[in-house]
Copies of this chain bind each other. A is one copy, B any other.
Amino acid sequence: MAATIHDVARKAGVGIGTVSSVLNNSRPVNEKTRQKVLTAVAELDFVPNPSGRRLSLGKTHTIGVVIPYFTIASQIERLRGVMSVIAGSDYDINLFTVETIPQRNKILQTVPRRGRIDGLLIFSLNPTEADLRRIHRHNIPTVLVEASHPDLPHLFLDDVAAAQTAVEHLIQLGHRKIGYISDYLDDPFGSFFSRNRYQGYCQALKAADLPIQPEYHRQGCFGREDGREKTFELLNLPNPPTAIFTYSDDIALAVLEVARDLNLNVPGDLSVVGYDDIELANFAQLTTVRQYLFESGIQGVELLLDTIEHPDAPPSHHQLPTELIVRRTTASPSQSNDAVSLKNRD
């Protein structure tokens, strides 16, 4: 159907090697011959078949990107960063989203293989030791973003410190009853950020001599709906928290939704702090921990492209900055007791 390099060679009256040379500038070709080849290429609308190319070169010119939590806005923002770099390169992107544990395992088992991709970018997922052995055995350049492993190049956040800063902000405002909504601490996908942020939360409380009350910590919150549920649980406690810190902006927005449904005044009755600083955090005027998401996508691919070019360089680890952005969902807790505060709006 489609023209092959042999068709071009025949039409131009040259050998296939010459056609290849012209197309790849891989060796000098007489100007006249070059023109003959180029017109033949144009007439046949010839484009080299990538499968043949890949087989011959042993390179796929494709990068795999593995993304869990694809519902979450922060991941999209990272992906956008990745795409912005890829657009200017000659690499293709293979997208793998992971929604379930079996899927996670299947992807990590089948994707990192020579001949499938040239490099792998993994977001927010810590590979197991078995995964790692496979990655090394197949010798696939791999970069982690928002995750870490000593043997792999990665970009990581200081989640502990960032969470601690966020909770300290609440404590400084006068909050003593602070809830935290997290993902499962033993994240089934093998992410640690939720656990780290929990640790930062605990450290802040400890440093202020506040007790760590287990009922103020809700874990296992995945989507928006879970977020609403956990918020209800927290606010229905006999002695509910006056502030809630969440492990993502998406969840924080769910908290705000519930607060509105309950006619709770934010920040008067309830302060809320998120994490990520997605675009909508600004819309909702959410106080949150900013991480530079788009930028992290860019740095992630660039690190990967580097690793592909220099596979033997020692794995480099870069810390991504974070910053507490104070907007309008945090304030000092009102003096009124909780029963009243449930009614004092509208």
Q: Annotate A113-149 by CB proximity to B: 1 below 8 A, 0 otherwise.
A: 1111000000000000000000001110000000000
Nearest Cβ on chain B to A23's Cβ, whole angstroms:
14
**Which residues 3-39 of A sit at the B interface, judged by CB distance below 8 A?**
none
Any B CB within 8 A of the CB of A239: no
Answer whether A70 and B60 are a contact pair too, CB < 8 Å, given A45-B137, A55-B55, A87-B103. no
**Residues B47 and A113 in contact, CB atoms below 8 Å apart:** yes
Q: Which of B45, B49, B94, B279 contacts A94 (CB 8 A)?
A: B94
Task: Find residues 206-226 in chain A having any chain B CB closer than 8 Å to their own CB.
Answer: 224
Q: Which residue of B lies closest to A139 (CB)?
A: B1
For this chain, the copies found in one complex come to 2
User: What are the residues of chain B within 8 A of A280 when measuring CB–CB?
Assistant: 253, 280
A94-B94, A279-B224, A283-B253 in contact; A60/B71 too (CB < 8 A)?
no
Measured between alpha carbons, how far is A115 from B54 in the docked complex, in Å?
11
- A200 CB to closest chain B CB, in angstroms? 27
**Are A115 and B83 closer than 8 Å at their CB atoms?**
no
Chain B residues whose CB sits within 8 angstroms of the CB of A73 once the complex forms? 73
By the criterion CB–CB under 8 Å, are A115 and B224 in contact? no
Instruction: Report which of B2, B55, B114, B139 forms a contact with A138, defined as CB distance below 8 A.
Output: B2
Contact assessment for A70 and B83 in the assembled complex, using a CB-CB cutoff below 8 Å = yes
Give, as a whole number of angstroms, the nearest-CB distance from A305 to chain B. 17
Q: A47 — nearest CB in chain B belongs to which residue? A: B113
Are A80 and B70 neighbours in the complex by a CB distance under 8 Å? yes
**Hey, which chain B residues are within 8 Å of A84, CB to CB?**
99
Whether A51 pairs with B55 at a CB distance below 8 angstroms is yes
In the bound complex, CA of A80 to CA of B2 (Å) = 33
Whether a CB of chain B sits under 8 angstroms from the CB of A262 is no
Q: How far is the CB of A90 from chain B (nearest CB, A)?
A: 10
A171 at the A/B interface (Cβ < 8 Å)?
Answer: no
Shortest distance from the beta carbon of A41 to any chain B beta carbon, whole Å: 14
Report Cα–Cα, A103/B253, bound state, in Å: 35
Find out whether the CB atom of B114 lies under 8 angstroms from the CB atom of A95. Answer: no
CA of A282 to CA of B97 in the docked complex: distance in angstroms? Answer: 25
Binary contact track A100-114/B, C-beta < 8 Å → 1, others 0: 000100000010011
**Cα of A182 to Cα of B50 in the assembled complex, Å:** 40
Query: In chain A, residues 48-91, which have Cβ atoms closer than 8 Å to a Cβ of chain B?
Result: 49-52, 54-55, 60, 62, 70-71, 73, 76, 80, 83-84, 87
Among A253, A279, A283, the one with the most B-chain Cβ atoms within 10 Å of its Cβ is A283
Within the complex, the shortest CB–CB distance from A13 to chain B, in Å, comes to 25
Q: Is A257 an interface residue (CB 8 A)?
A: yes
Q: What are 17 of the A-B contact pairs (CB < 8 Å)? A: A1-B139, A45-B137, A49-B55, A50-B60, A50-B116, A51-B54, A51-B55, A51-B60, A55-B55, A70-B83, A76-B76, A83-B97, A93-B95, A94-B95, A95-B95, A224-B279, A256-B283
Starting from the known contacts A47-B110, A62-B94, 16 additional A-B residue pairs (CB-CB under 8 Å) come to A1-B114, A1-B139, A2-B113, A49-B55, A49-B114, A51-B54, A51-B60, A54-B54, A73-B73, A83-B95, A83-B97, A87-B97, A92-B94, A93-B94, A95-B95, A253-B283
